[in-house]
């Protein structure tokens, strides 16, 4: 586990991520976990009743489909918060590198049962 006063290089952490949709926690601060993720293709519709979810695109383009709202398209350098409880489905046509910020213990697929549900792992 990286301490809050430790320098974490995002590119180095993302280089260690080998599977799509399998977030790896890289840092914890203020009771939140920062996770490095590579994504490609469709994810599943899900929500997070335990808190908001912040997406930061490092490389590529990410579309976040939202229930009853227009989709949001994010490019490198863009950030977007999916409000607590809102159903959403991320999608990336090409591989995209992102950081996600969640409260500890949040499952990437929420309550949705899926083959894309990832185990919690630190890198």
pLDDT, one tens digit per residue, over 32-61 is: 999 999 999 999 999 999 899 999 999 999
From CA 120, how far away is CA 82, in angstroms rounded? 20
**Which residues are registered as beta bridge partners of 55?**
80, 100
Q: Which of 97, 7, 20 is nearest to 55 (CA)?
A: 97
Look at residue 111 and tell me whether its pLDDT is greater than 90: no
**Which strand (E) or helix (H) includes residue 11?**
helix 10-15
Report the CATH number of the 30-102 domain. 2.60.120.10
Reduce the DSSP state of residue 42 to 3 states and report it: strand
Question: The pTM is what?
Answer: 0.92
From CA 2, how far away is CA 110, in angstroms rounded? 25
Look at residue 17 and tell me whether its pLDDT is greater than 70: yes
């Amino acid at each position: 586990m990286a301490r809050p006063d430790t320098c974490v290089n995002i590119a180095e952490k993302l280089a260690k991520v080998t599977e799509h949709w399998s977030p790896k926690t890289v840092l914890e601060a203020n009771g939140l976990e920062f996770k490095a993720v590579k994504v490609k293709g469709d994810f599943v519709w899900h929500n997070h009743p335990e808190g908001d979810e912040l997406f930061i695109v490092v490389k590529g383009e990410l579309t976040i489909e939202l229930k009853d709202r227009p989709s949001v398209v994010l490019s490198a350098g863009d950030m977007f918060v999916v409000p607590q409880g809102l159903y959403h489905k991320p999608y990336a046509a090409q591989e995209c590198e992102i950081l996600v910020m969640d409260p500890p213990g949040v499952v990437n697929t929420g309550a949705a049962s899926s083959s894309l549900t990832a185990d919690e792992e630190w890198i």
